[in-house]
């Protein structure tokens, strides 16, 4: 097994992790920014407001993208298992 192959496998795994976490993180970031602006404008300093809204937003995005996430993870895993015989030799 060459170093280039190991680096390619690690890069693919990291990219898949970023692709799967990206929509959830973007939802949390955008909702958090909107709530922060709302709290700054209205001077409401309630911490649970931001938490609860972000929780619901991330949960909704998770439910919307769940099938795509599972398909991507399964596709990556199948390709990894198919390439194992070539990696051992």
CA-to-CA separations, 21 to 28, 52, 57, 79, in angstroms, rounded: 11, 19, 14, 20
Higher pLDDT, 1 or 83: 83
CA-to-CA separations, 29 to 12, 42, 89, in angstroms, rounded: 25, 20, 45
* End-to-end Cα distance, the chain: 8
Distance CA 20, CA 17 (A): 5
- Looking at residue 89, its pLDDT comes to 64
Confidence band for 6, pLDDT divided at 50, 70 and 90 = confident
pLDDT higher than 90, residue 2: no
**Residue boundaries of the structural domains of the chain:** 3-88
pLDDT digits (tens, 9 = 90+) for 20-62: 999 999 999 999 999 999 999 998 888 888 899 999 999 999 9
């Amino acid at each position: 097994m060459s170093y280039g192959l190991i680096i390619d496998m690690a890069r693919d795994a990291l990219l898949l992790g970023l692709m799967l976490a990206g929509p959830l993180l973007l939802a949390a970031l955008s909702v958090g920014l909107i709530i922060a602006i709302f709290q700054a404008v209205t001077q409401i300093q309630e911490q649970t407001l931001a938490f609860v809204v972000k929780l619901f937003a991330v949960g909704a995005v998770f439910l919307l993208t769940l099938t795509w996430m599972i398909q991507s993870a399964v596709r990556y895993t199948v390709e990894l298992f198919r390439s194992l015989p070539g990696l051992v030799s």
